[in-house]
Structure 1
Amino acid sequence: MTLLAVGINYTTAPVAIRERLAFPAEILDNTLKNLWKVNEISEAAILSTCNRTEFYYQSDNEDHAALIDWLADTKHIRPAEFTPYLYSFKDSQSIRHMFRVACGLDSMILGEPQILGQMKTAYHAAYQAGTLGRNLSKLFQHTFSAAKKVRTDTAIGSSPVSVAFAAVQLAQQIFDKLSEQTALLIGAGETIELTARHLYQHGIGRIIIANRTYDKAHALATQFNGFAIALSELPNHLAEADIVVSSTASQLPILGKGRVESAIKKRKHKPMFMVDLAVPRDIEAEVEQLSDVYLYTVDDLQNTVNRNMDSRRRAAEQAEEIIDAQVEHFLIWLRSQGAQQTIRDYRSQAERARDESLQKAIAQLNNGTDAEQVLQRLAHTLTNKLIHTPCVQLRDASANERHDLIAASREIFKLK
């Protein structure tokens, strides 16, 4: 049996191909069951995200022709349309690939943590569908352990590498408890959405989202239990904000020094943390001159992000060393599975010998034979039964000059 990993990701396939090969969560259960029915496949799981679709499975064959045929038939797409974008790994390389994916080493943003949660979702979906067996189930568990070790023993995820995350982490340094703060986010684009998500995940007390188009602000605010306002309402709510993050496409500043100064007075000079992620700027540079205002621009945060990326790259080198060791640990477990059937057979043989000898001993006791005599005979008989076959095999090995078997026997039975 061969462990295989086959897939496409953001580096190998354009979004048009990734969309066609994606498997939404609502169809994943039936999809897995159908994949599992393919004759050559005995275990299977599917990881499907916006950046990758990957198949982890155990197969009788080392190639992935059966998977390609199934995928073409399932997605109604000719193999020639997607096979040029595929990558594939087998056995130890499959194991290494899964570990690297779970650790964020294969992600668009190096070390990003979301992929581990997506990997766990893939595992649970396969578990629920009943398409996991002993080997793939154990591999997933080992994958999660490897990812945890990498995150514990390296700094791969400790430093923010997006300006949105850097802004939130900086806010945490300024305010003791985000749960007691109000954040005003200006705009409704990707950067503001990411900022809102990070703030929400870090327990922000309240979120207000302002945008020129109220409906967009409302749609985004509802995702995070927030409150939406039109941009024209900004002056009425600015004083409520402890944290202001702005990222719009406006060609002119949205917040001037005078408006911010008025808000600070209403706040009785309670500090305000402001982050301008827009180019051109949304917040006038003169705002920085105001007391009780901490203003940061996208350049300030980008320098932090660049330093953190260097830190993550160094951590990634350490992570690769950890993964090397973890791959070897799993391979040792995998190789040990080859002995399991032999161990079970040997145990069954010994238990049959025990049961036969025990039945005879019980019969002798029931017939009135002296108990001590029965016990001595039981011990003698059972010992002979257990050592008879190995002794015969060792004599044959000696006669045939199989010194390797004799040496192996001394090791197996720990004979000094």
Structure 2
Amino acid sequence: MLLEPARLNTRGGELKANSTTDVGRPVQGPPLTAKEGEPPVQMKNKQKKLLETTPVEKQDETPIPVQYQKYKKLFEERKGHETLPEHKPWDHEIVLEEGKTPPFGPIYPMSASDLRTLRDYIADALEKGWIRESTSQAASPVLFVPKKDGTRRLCVDYRKLNDITIKDRYPLPLATELRDRLGKAKIFSKFDLRNGFHLIRMKESEEWKTAFRTRYGLYEYQVMPFGLTNAPATCMRLVNNVLRKYLDICCICYLDDILVFSETEEQHIKDVHKVLQQLEEADLQCKPSKCEFHVTETEFLGYTIFSGGLKMSPNKVKAVMEWEPPTSVKEVQSFLGFANFYRRFIKNYSKIAAPMTEITKKSQGEFRWTETAQEAFERLKEAFAGEPVLRTFDPELPIIVETDSSDYAIGAVLSQPGSNEK
């Protein structure tokens, strides 16, 4: 059964476009309309058999399968104070250590362009109700950090506030466990919650603790801002509570990223309905440009997930292949930290990386990039270039345990026979 698209009106001209990390080749045919100055939006050929689409005629429309049209408000961008969520049981609270009060810090200097961006942000956040003017005794400074798309995100420097905040130990799931839950899934849909943390209100009377100082005045958040030490825990608690009955059965979640998985198309339609209904009842919102419906491959938590397995993200592999030889201990640590994310894919990773790891232990004295370290650097690159694949663990198949050790490394591998018994 093929899904037919319907048109969903959204404000702001957002379209479901593929990013540079998308896998698969574009489907032949007329492209979807994108924003002015952006490349045409194209669908993946991986989707073609499961989801047919038609060209979008207007900039304020994005394709959504007709089966899910009843949830269109879930994908519509709200304007003004409609963006401000209502108070809910999961409102965020900042519990301070006994006897401590929120600190204040000096205003950080900003360039003219940063000040323009700051002024625009304040005007937009005031209109949406995310912030309001404040008379708080607390006052954290603000700064801008670069985003992947080249724009900048305003961040409040809450480090001093975080130091005196009692920590919420609600856990984030282990990424390895999440991937293992996919089992025999063949079809995936992915949803990204719009505005992430800002979907959660600050608990009433707690807003003053979030106050921040700027060239243009003192403001405080009515929604949960980025940068608070317990914000991830609050977000994860919300998502888990909303989708609890379906977790690990047909969906997995990591903060505001949600992946729905199924073995058949018919079952997948039912599973997507279940998840969207829960999100709608919780009055959450999804960002269409970051959502995917009925695909056989998708990016999730830095991996390319497909039927029966996962592989390294192509742009991460590209970054490793283009990495220049380190010229300091810090650069060696940076490379190993990046490569370590995919160590499960590399056989004998610790053994290969040992010469570079040894260099990181010698933080004092002159940096020496040895020939042995260069060889290890190149061997790791070669291992990445092979783009190995990990198959999803199947508890019903036999398990093979292999161990190995040397003077400087120990390791173990769990494997299972494939369809060809290898």
Q: TM-score, normalised by structure 1?
A: 0.24
Relative contact order: is structure 1 or structure 2 higher (C-alpha 8 Å, sep ≥ 6)? 2
Higher helix share: 1
Q: TM-score, normalised by structure 2?
A: 0.23
